[in-house]
Copies of this chain bind each other. A is one copy, B any other.
Amino acid sequence: MRIVALAGGIGGARFLRGLRQVEPGAEVTAVVNTGDDITLHGLRVCPDLDTVMYTLGGGISAERGWGREDETFVVKEELAAYGVGPAWFGLGDRDLATHLVRTQMLDAGYPLSQVTTALCDRWQPGVRLLPMTDDRVETHVVADVPARDGRPAGRQALHFQEWWIRYGAKLPAERIVGVEAEKSTPAPGVLEAIAEADVVLLPPSNPVVSIGTILAIPGIREALRSARAPVVGVSPIIGGAPVRGMADACLAAVGVEVSAEAVGRHYGARRGPDGTGSEAADGLLDAWLVDCRDEGATVPGVEVVSRDLLMPDLPSAAALAGAALEVARALR
């Protein structure tokens, strides 16, 4: 069975680990958000790709959910002693080696997709990791920013990481933009994997800055809409709140209510009421998994199924992935 999953960081990574466990024989392709990528100290950092790679490769910090287990922060300390920031980014020493290898390969001319394959030689994640694009697309957030680093206060576009980490997503976002997304193309293999998939999954990643950014790459939304496979999404919102992260702050920026139903409606139905693609439908979903406490949510044209969506550990993540596959099979 060929499965494609779009993925952000922690939520996507844990879902994928469950998926690999419940369906070990499947060929899984993860199309990973790279809009969070940032260049720090001259190093190219790809937080979501690394979170997925470390999680599936057994190197993730269990406690934090991002970065490496047994991490040290000596280099960051030293950079601070030089007065070199940013202080708000948690750049670990082990993690830094990944960025060094990646940056050197990128500088040598390899595209990010090939660099990712090379890094995965070490980590053996057991799924194929593809960046959404080999082009540089960076998510920026327009917000009223207080005075900082000698710059005056005012409406500014911040790199997503600064908004997310430094300001804890607490500055109300007027807009969230995938800079250069409209000029980018999907990484090699992305559209083919979607076209050839037996199942397409949208894990409970952030619908705006993870899944939404992937969908902003020209061609990916269309590929999902025309895929022969059913598309099954899993709500990242349970009982009116994000399970983790600060998806509520992102949803506010796109005018979507923080509820499983509203996010399902935001993704929308792939087929019209007659069961075929029609003008009435321009969405992505065939089915939408919501948590038991959100039972009764409806998304026109989409089969809404309620299950336990919490995945505090591997068995529950595997059960959730299994439930998504079961729903997908019933749709085929």
A interface residue numbers (CB < 8 A to B) = 41-43, 72, 74-75, 77-79, 81-84, 93-94, 96-98, 100-101, 103-104, 107, 119, 121-122
- 27 A-B Cβ contacts within 8 A? A41-B101, A42-B104, A42-B107, A43-B100, A72-B74, A72-B93, A74-B74, A74-B94, A74-B97, A75-B75, A75-B93, A75-B94, A75-B96, A75-B100, A77-B97, A78-B96, A78-B97, A78-B98, A79-B97, A79-B100, A79-B101, A82-B98, A82-B101, A82-B119, A82-B122, A84-B100, A96-B96
- By a CB distance below 8 angstroms, the chain B residues around A119 are 82
Minimum CB–CB distance from A103 to chain B (whole Å) comes to: 6
Could you tell me the distance between the alpha carbons of A101 and B79 in the complex, rounded to whole angstroms?
8
A49 to chain B, nearest CB (A): 15
User: Copy number of this protein in the oligomer?
Assistant: 2
Mostly, the A contact residues are helix
Q: Tell me the complex Cα distance, A41–B43, Å.
A: 11
Instruction: Name the B residues within 8 Å of A100 (CB-CB).
Output: 41-43, 75, 79, 84
In the complex, residue of chain B having the shortest beta-carbon distance to the beta carbon of A119: B82
Knowing that A41-B101, A72-B72, A72-B74 touch, tell me 15 more A-B residue pairs with CB under 8 angstroms: A41-B100, A41-B104, A42-B100, A43-B100, A74-B74, A74-B93, A75-B94, A75-B100, A78-B94, A82-B101, A82-B119, A84-B100, A84-B101, A93-B93, A96-B96
Complex Cα–Cα for A104 and B84 (A) = 11
List B contacts of A121 (CB < 8 A).
83
